[in-house]
Amino acid sequence: MKNLPKYLAELFGTFGLALAVSLSATGSFLPTAIIAALTLGLFVYTIGHISGAHLNPAITAGALAIGKIHWQDAIGYWVAQFVGAGIALTLSGQLVERTILNVDTEILTGAGEALGAVFFGFGVAAVIYGRIPKDVTGVAVGASLALGIAMAGHLSNGILNPAVALALGSFNWIYLVGPIVGAVVGMWLFKLLSMEK
């Protein structure tokens, strides 16, 4: 049970992020991207010291791929993240009318999610490897998310987080696979370019 605080931090943080995005998803791209980036940045500062504030199954998969999290913790994080998203889905469904994510073509949607997650994962890896000063890690992670959303937005809605997609009512596999592939590639790319171990 020594890891319970980490899992609870991931559950609460993912719930908060997913709820913020769900309640701000009005169809207008920019406000939702800003709210997502600011919310994630806040959680990096407030719970980052507990769990690393992944709050995203794709980021957890990327951290696992580069050896920065053990598989047992990754499973605990994924369970916590999807439970947090499920709670956000339930609560947001009571508060606002649900907007189902439109997936026009799975190839474009998947490519958009993967592309955005490459940039997001690249920025997160810089934080994980300590290349960003600690006092601005939340800003760096939030900015990386905003950049990823901007890169993906017109192709895929720019979700970049399977848990948030679930909280928005999407059960399409592309919102699971695209961000995971992109985050893993982005984190590996940072590791290779910076010659990290």
Structural domain count, the chain: 1
Task: Using alpha carbons, list the distances in angstroms from residue 102 to 86, 109, 155, 165, 188.
Answer: 20, 9, 10, 11, 30
Q: In this predicted model, what pLDDT tens digit does every residue of 19-36 receive, in sequence order?
A: 988 888 766 667 888 999
pLDDT value at position 31? 80
pLDDT value at position 136? 96
- Give CA angle at 108 (107, 114), nearest 5°: 90
**CATH classification at residue 85:** 1.20.1080.10
pLDDT value at position 172? 86
pLDDT value at position 104? 61
Nearest Cα to 164, choosing from 111, 92, 103?
A: 92
Task: Using alpha carbons, list the distances in angstroms from residue 31 to 27, 68, 166.
Answer: 9, 32, 20
pLDDT value at position 33? 86
pLDDT value at position 140? 96
pLDDT value at position 36? 92
Q: Tell me which residues of the chain have a pLDDT lower than 70.
A: 26-29, 96-104
Query: The domain containing residue 158 runs over which residues?
Result: 4-193
Nearest Cα to 110, choosing from 192, 63, 170?
A: 170
pLDDT value at position 97? 64
Q: Whole-angstrom Cα distance, residue 158 to residue 32?
A: 10
Q: In this predicted model, what pLDDT tens digit does every residue of 63-102 receive, in sequence order?
A: 999 999 999 999 999 999 999 999 998 897 777 665 555 5
